[in-house]
Amino acid sequence: MAKVVIIGSGIGGLSTGIILARLGFEVTVVEKNRQPGGMMRSYVRQGVHCNVGLHYLGALDAGQVLRRCFDHLGITADLPLMRMGTDGPIDRYLFSDARLGIESFDVPAGFAAYESNLRAAFPTQQPQIDALMAMLRRSGSQFEQLDFLYSERPPLSWFEQMEPLGAVFERLGCSPGLRAVFGLPSVLIGVPPAVCPQFYHTMALASYLFSAWRLTSNGAHMADVCAQRLASLGGRVRTGDGVVRIRTADGCVQGVTLASGETLDTDLVISTLHPKETLGLLPPESVKPSYRRRIEGLQDTHGMTAVHALVPAARHPAFAHNLFAIQTDASGDASDLIYVQLRPSERPDQNLLSLITSGHEALWDRWQHTVSGKRGKEYLQSKTDFAHRLLGQAEKITGPLSGVQLLDVSTPLTIRDWVNSPNGSAYGVMRSTEQLLSGALLNRTSLQGLFLAGQSVMAPGILGTIIGSLATVQFIIGPERFRREVRI
């Protein structure tokens, strides 16, 4: 049986592990943290689970693309899910710039309902909406079929769908308001709309229009479900002992060395870490300087700062949609936003208010040489101050908040140290049109037996990362066996 060591137990590592275990590989996933899950995993404060990187999911209805992936992984039945958009919108966008001519926009479930909301909101933009919806439907259906994994078309033919969204807007003469609404989902994968390839924007928007869902448990539960599924297939997840070195000889992988000093021998290693982190685990002479330069030169998405707080449920009822308060530039493109989720918590009388905004990296700069848990009182105070400012801004959206009990604040430094993401990058390598070539085909490396997976190789998010896992498995077993044995 072929042995594989997978570095990292986020959704990238666990999904790759499950797919390979199903194919008969002997899988060992190695995780530096004490518990599996990476950014998918929630953490507990005062008995309440705070999600890190799992707030909502798209395309989970029977037959839809993420559902087919979950079915293949064998985790669907164990995940308690709630459909969004049955009694209201999935997302509510709120804008504050009068130049847009629109204050709020509701994203409903379904392409037809979304189209009709666009038409009602922008009566003078009907031809533009015709063109945008045709593009969205075309790319959405190709994405839904996972054509890029199963068709024999060469990858370059996909580049026709890589026109930057900004150029599409210019070409069609879209108004700033329409740009602001239609372009927003690209921000959800960390890419400014102007440079977001149309296909990636479609991935982000279409998957939620297909159907949108919330996990009613929490990220830790999902991580444990994935780890247990891998174990049921004979795979192992070793936690609390990270990889410090990928051992190589003569251009081939030989195994890994763990922080404890233990070595694991194998000629197949998959790293799901950010490619820059993976570089750091390799002997300097093992990769060509040109590869090193290419990886080191990649631009990453920004970090995020998140605030979790409890609010009295009687005064602040939960709502089933996401709220986005969006700042835009003159063209209508989003420059920053506050994401608001207010959902039930484990405490019956308290709801959990989660706010996420851009990382405000400069604020945390002075602590960049410190490590989590040891940054000192001033850092804690700065986090608390930031949280109160953000809560103040959120009040403009939620109305006055009272009885707020702050649970936790995480900054890009938190994410950096938690999962080893460079500078706390939330979504890894930025999928911008400028990086189409340098960021393409990251799954493979020049070292025999070393492959990459994780959110940076193809696309971020739970769905994008699993698709990246599938693509990496395809490289490992070859397209023919993949088509025969991995039916999604």
Ligand X SMILES: Cc1cc2nc3c(=O)[nH]c(=O)nc-3n(C[C@H](O)[C@H](O)[C@H](O)COP(=O)(O)OP(=O)(O)OC[C@H]3O[C@@H](n4cnc5c(N)ncnc54)[C@H](O)[C@@H]3O)c2cc1C
Calpha distance 6→438 (Å, rounded): 24
- Does 420 contact ligand X by CB under 6 A? yes
Provide, rounded to whole angstroms, the least separation between the CB of residue 407 and ligand X.
Answer: 15
Provide, rounded to whole angstroms, the least separation between the CB of residue 160 and ligand X.
Answer: 26
- Does 55 contact ligand X by CB under 6 A? yes
- Does 7 contact ligand X by CB under 6 A? yes
- Does 33 contact ligand X by CB under 6 A? yes
Q: Could you give the 3-state DSSP secondary structure of residue 198?
A: helix
Calpha distance 116→127 (Å, rounded): 13
- Considering the complex, state which of residue 6 and residue 132 has its C-beta at the smaller distance from ligand X: 6
In single-letter form, the type of residue at position 229 comes to R
Could you identify the residue written with the tokens 């909406």? 129
Kindly indicate which of the ranges 208-216, 291-299, 419-427, 472-480 contains the residues binding ligand X, using the contact rule CB under 6 A.
Answer: 419-427
- Does 275 contact ligand X by CB under 6 A? no
191: its two tokens: 């890419």
Q: How many CB atoms lie within 10 A of CB 422?
A: 20
* The binder of ligand X chosen from 22, 32, 49, 229 (CB under 6 A): 32
DSSP symbols for 282-316 = S-GGGS-HHHHHHHHTPPBPP-EEEEEEEEETTTS
Residues 9-28 that bind ligand X (CB under 6 A): 9-13
- Does 200 contact ligand X by CB under 6 A? no
- Considering the complex, state which of residue 394 and residue 419 has its C-beta at the smaller distance from ligand X: 419
Identify each DSSP E strand in 192-242 by its residue range: 212-215, 236-238
The DSSP letter of residue 233 is T
- Least Cα distance to 332 among 26, 122, 23 occurs for 122
User: Per DSSP, what are the bridge partners of residue 248?
Assistant: 253
- Does 31 contact ligand X by CB under 6 A? yes
- Considering the complex, state which of residue 66 and residue 168 has its C-beta at the smaller distance from ligand X: 66
Kindly indicate which of the ranges 3-11, 137-145, 377-385, 439-447 contains the residues binding ligand X, using the contact rule CB under 6 A.
Answer: 3-11
- Considering the complex, state which of residue 125 and residue 271 has its C-beta at the smaller distance from ligand X: 271
- Considering the complex, state which of residue 10 and residue 183 has its C-beta at the smaller distance from ligand X: 10
Could you identify the residue written with the tokens 């037996």? 449
- Does 426 contact ligand X by CB under 6 A? yes
* The binder of ligand X chosen from 19, 48, 54, 75 (CB under 6 A): 54
266: its two tokens: 């194998």
C-alpha Rg value of the chain to the nearest Å: 22
Calpha distance 71→93 (Å, rounded): 32
Q: Which residues of this chain interact with ligand X, rule CB under 6 A?
A: 7-13, 30-33, 38-40, 53-57, 242-243, 272-273, 277, 304, 306, 356, 415, 419-421, 426-427, 454-455, 460-463, 465
